[in-house]
Amino acid sequence: MTAVVTDAGSGDVLMLAHMNAEALARTIETREAHFYSRSRGKLWKKGEDSGHVQTVVEMRVDCDQDAVLLKVRVAGTGASCHTGRISCFYRSIPLGSAPSGELKLDFIGDAKLFDPAKVYKQP
């Protein structure tokens, strides 16, 4: 299922991820966000490498029960994005005209709070 993660204090959207039954169960049990990585094909606890663990304050499910909303507090620097930023949603799409050729995105987010190359292990 789709999981939307927001900051429990500000309400800002931090990230979007996916959960399988095991990730959902572990999140409910531990009160720490767990997700299923489709690209890696495995369960992962948010912050297990970076230290930016997401403590779940509240969970809600949508009307169709196929998406979940997690309201969290983030440990460490407060960054939730693997790029080192607070939110994964740090670029906007200009509206009002049809794109011709390559779409240029506008940077609207905060600066990086950490250097991903120093935090994440490279395979």
Amino acid making up residue 87:
S
Query: Token pair 């997401």 is at which residue?
Result: 54
pLDDT of residue 25: 97
Percent of the chain's residues with pLDDT above 70: 97
CA–CA separation, 119 vs 10, rounded Å?
26
Amino acid making up residue 38:
R
How much is the pTM? Answer: 0.87
Domains of the chain: residue spans and CATH: 1-123 (3.10.20.810)
Res. 45: pLDDT tops 70? yes
Q: What is the mean pLDDT of residues 76-103?
A: 84
Six token digits for residue 26: 């572990």
**91-109 tens-digit pLDDT:** 998 888 776 777 788 888 7
Q: What is the mean pLDDT of residues 101-119?
A: 82
The larger pLDDT score, comparing residue 94 to residue 54, is at 54
CB atoms within 10 A of CB 78: 15
Beta strands in the chain (DSSP E): 2-7, 13-18, 34-37, 42-45, 54-61, 67-74, 91-92, 106-107
DSSP assignment, residue 85?
A: S
For the chain, helix, strand, coil in percent to 5 are 10, 35, 55
